Amino acid sequence: MPDAFELTPSTHLDLSTLEQLLADKRPVTLGAEARQRITDCHHYLRDRLAESDSPIYGINTGFGALCNTSIAPEERQQLQVNLVMSHACGTGDEVPADLVRLMLLLKVQSLSYGNSGAQLQTVQRLLDFYNRDILPVVYQQGSLGASGDLAPLAHLCLPLLGLGEVNYQGYRLAAADVLHLFSWEPIALEAKEGLALLNGTQFMLAYGVHCLLRARRVAQAADVIGALSLEAFDGRTEPFDDRLHQVRPHAGQLTVARRMRELLAGSQLQQQEKTAVQDPYSFRCVPQVHGASRDALGYVAQVFETECNAVTDNPNIFPDTDAILSGGNFHGQPLALALDFLAIAVAELGSISERRTYQLISGQRGLPPFLVAEPGLNSGFMIPQYTAASIVSQNKQLCTPASVDSIVSSNGQEDHVSMGSNGATKARRVVENVEQVLGIELMNAVQALAFRRPNQSSPQLEKVVEAFRQKVKFVSRDRVLYPDLHAAAAFVRDYDWT
């Protein structure tokens, strides 16, 4: 069992650390500083309410458009329970298990700063769910991404009360039964806790972190697969010359051009005399297109990492300055814009990939049409390009920004919403789609390289070819191809492209 990772408010939780935690399933604990700050804030709120009946939103008032309705002291606990129950209105597909785990961790991280008023036992129970792989059943639809991800987070937190359902050890169980299994009592929510649990961006953020980590691998894969396609197409290396990129020094462009030079170093194919004076844009402009997507992902990473180390509920409590402030830290606009940008950036990697596939099957530069020895009798790689084109077209539809939409809710009190949750689920579909599109390009590139033998590509690229051929064999005549397409997409997801 690996050593536990300690969450503490003074430690910056970066994306690399999150990726490692999720991969290793390393246990997580609340550090002493976090425990103290959570406890101090909760005690401050309890004492403040005992001393004064001044209205504090969502603590001794109703919610949303009911913010001017006073709640009697004896009803404040029920107010928080009612909030969680009434907001559990999710629908659609279930959130995948790995994303629910990430939601739990990010919610605990946000509460650990001690600005939310939650009880220590509430935060600890969420962490117990995370460490024991007790994953609440959460649904993808229902959040406007404004007052936080209200519906998804309500489902995430229902099991604290012994309500709702969880997935545990391969079974879907009533939350009450799992609590009984561990001899845990349901949490008795106190003032403000329902708000602390439901106000927050952890649904959007979990999807964003997940998509970004996959998108980074996609960007790495796109460079390597693009280099393989260039070799298979008998393309030129001049477009990657450092001098070209130093006079237009976008960071991503410089990085991709350097990678292309490194990937092609030592290639026998590049030593052959080239017949074409120029290559199509999908080959020649790889640094500019892939690089722009990398730069976009860099911005997205900055937004997500900031949010991973933020307090996103409302109101926020500041015991040191004796203040409880109602504001809008739950609003998902920063994430909504970033999620739309992520989807667009990744979709472009798929768009240019499909064009390279199209060039490879077009019968140019000594390659047979559709990359089979007997075209006509065999359709070869004709239809995988259709599939890639279909997926790229769908991505164009999915990349319509969610963040430009807003629908008024709560009788006009919540009159501008981010729709970041829709952006989040769309972004995940785009990333999955591009993994498949790149897999199709990889199939075509490796197939086309076989027609360049005995000349070899670079040692780096030949290593990729060898690994891929363990999963997908050469197509000498027509066969059922969908298993190969699926295997190629899995290869893009799983291979170490660094």
> Residues 6 or more apart from 450 whose CB is under 8 A from it?
474
pLDDT tens figures, 391-408: 999 999 999 999 999 888
The average pLDDT across 208-227 equals 98
Alpha helices in 91-201 (DSSP H): 97-111, 120-131, 150-157, 175-181, 193-198
Instruction: Reply yes or no on whether the pLDDT at 449 is more than 90.
Output: yes
Please give the CATH topology (third level) of the domain spanning 5-200: Fumarase C; Chain B, domain 1 (1.10.275)
Instruction: Reply yes or no on whether the pLDDT at 70 is more than 90.
Output: no
Torsion of CA 325, 330, 334, 336, to 10 degrees: -160
Q: Which residues pair with 375 in a beta bridge?
A: 378
**Peptide bond before residue 136 is cis, with ω within 30 degrees of 0:** no
Q: What is the pLDDT of residue 64?
A: 63
pLDDT tens figures, 143-188: 999 888 999 999 999 999 999 999 999 999 999 999 999 999 999 9
> What length does the chain have?
498
Q: What is the pLDDT of residue 127?
A: 98
What are the domain boundaries of the chain? Answer: 5-200, 207-494
Give the β-pairing of 139-141 and 316-318.
unpaired
Compute the Cα dihedral for 327, 330, 336, 342 and give only its sign: positive
> Residues 6 or more apart from 14 whose CB is under 8 A from it?
305, 308
pLDDT tens figures, 337-382: 999 999 999 999 999 999 999 999 999 999 999 999 888 889 999 9
Closest by CA position to 451, among listed 376, 364, 385? 364
Q: What is the pLDDT of residue 65?
A: 60
State CA 271 to chain mean position distance: 41
Give, in order, the Cα–Cα distances in Å from 199 to each of 86, 143, 162, 411: 14, 11, 20, 18
Q: Are 264 and 234 in contact (CB under 8 A)?
A: no
The CA R_g of the chain, rounded to the nearest whole Å, is: 26
> Residues 6 or more apart from 416 whose CB is under 8 A from it?
146, 406, 408
DSSP 475: -
Q: Extract the tokens encoding 349.
A: 């990697």
Q: Extract the tokens encoding 267.
A: 């290639």
Cα gap 304→206, rounded to integer Å: 9
The average pLDDT across 220-231 equals 98
The average pLDDT across 433-447 equals 98
What is the amino acid identity at position 2?
P
Closest by CA position to 92, among listed 136, 135, 134, 138? 138
Q: In terms of CATH architecture, what is 207-494?
A: Up-down Bundle (1.20)
Mean pLDDT (the chain, rounded): 94
Q: What is the pLDDT of residue 52?
A: 76
Cα gap 270→364, rounded to integer Å: 17
What is the amino acid identity at position 99?
L
Phi, psi of 7 (to 5 degrees): -85, 125
pLDDT tens figures, 87-118: 999 999 999 999 999 999 999 999 999 999 99
pLDDT class for 412, splitting at 50, 70, 90? confident
Burial class (CB in 10 A: 0-12, 13-18, 19+), 487: middle
Instruction: Reply yes or no on whether the pLDDT at 119 is more than 70.
Output: yes
CB environment 443-479: b (16+ within 10 A), e (fewer): bbbbbbbeebeeebbbeebbebbeebeebbeebeeee
Task: Tell me the catalytic residues.
Answer: 57
